[in-house]
Each structure stands twice: as structure tokens, then as C-alpha cells.
Amino acid sequence: MCDHALTHGITDPGRLAEGVRTPAQREAWAVAEPLLAELISADVLLIGAPMYNFSVPASLKLWIDQVTFPRATLDLKVVVTGARGGSYAPGTPREPFDHHERYLRDYFHGHFQVDDVTFVNAEFVNSTVDPTLDHWREAYRRSYADARQAAEALARQAATPAASTSRRPA
């Protein structure tokens, strides 16, 4: 279907079904179409995605593979909430290993021209289960409190009358 869309210059998601020609493609489209329709209709996309092995969970990658189509533009805001075992914040030694945030920013910009992506992460979560990381527990508590405060602020912002109107032009 993506090859058909590219070959025929299709950028309107409403026309993607034109590329469905075989029984296998119909079966694949039956899975992808409702996910894509839900994404296209959203003003805000909320993703809960912990960092697994420096990147996104396999289940999120599977969803991404179903909703990706060529040369699309979506008008939406993306909020990603997550938990990380350590700290990958700017300036930390593990910052270069953060393939989670970078991947999602690159994905939404590269596939949908979406730059409005906000991350809310609780870090040092492993300190709650690994006794050798006890010395990071207070940093976890601060990070968790900050993440919760940021999430609540985003929720309040989304609940305001100005934010509840559609971002799409009438």
C-alpha cells in the first residue's frame, strides 16, 4: 500500500485504500485502517512508553509500523509519558544512550511533520527495586514528583476552553 501511495503521489490518508489489491493487503488494511483513522482524528496523542533497553517498547514499534504512511502531515500534539531506570537527561553520562526520545521525535517529525512533542519522564525508577541503587532513590522521588506535576499541568492546559477547541481549521 505504501508503494502504491508513493508511486501515485497519494498523501491524503483517505485514498490509501486505493492501494489495497490482494487478499493479504485487505487483511493488513483491516488492521491498519482503524488505527490510522483514530490517529488522524486526534488533536492530542498521548503515548505511555517506558524506555526499554534504551528505546521504545516493541508494542509501540508495532503500532508505529501500522500507522505510518508516506509523506503525511498531521496536525496534532504528541505527549509521551514514561519511566526510565536511570537518568538520560541532557548533560548526564547516559544522555547519548537515549534512543527513546530521539527516535520518537524523529519519527513524528520525519513521517508526519509534527514537532509539538512533549516528554514527561520519571527517572531512576530502578532505584525502587535494586538495592545497589538506593543512593538514587531521592533523585527518583524528585523526578517522579516533577513528572507528576508536569502531567497535571498538561492535563489542566488540555482542559481549558481554548485548548479544547480543535486545532484544525474549520
The pLDDT score that the predictor gives to residue 162 is: 62
DSSP 13: G
* Residue 168 in this model has a pLDDT that exceeds 70: no
The pLDDT score that the predictor gives to residue 166 is: 52
The pLDDT score that the predictor gives to residue 6 is: 87
Burial 64-94 (b: 16+ CB within 10 A, else e): bebbbbbebebebbbbbbbbbbbbbeeeeee
Q: How far apart are CA 78 and CA 68, in angstroms?
A: 15
Report the DSSP beta bridge partners of residue 122: 83
- What's the pLDDT band for 170 if we cut at 50, 70, 90? very low
Q: Write out pLDDT tens, residues 8-60.
A: 888 888 888 998 999 999 999 999 999 999 999 999 999 999 999 999 999 99
* Residue 154 in this model has a pLDDT that exceeds 60: yes
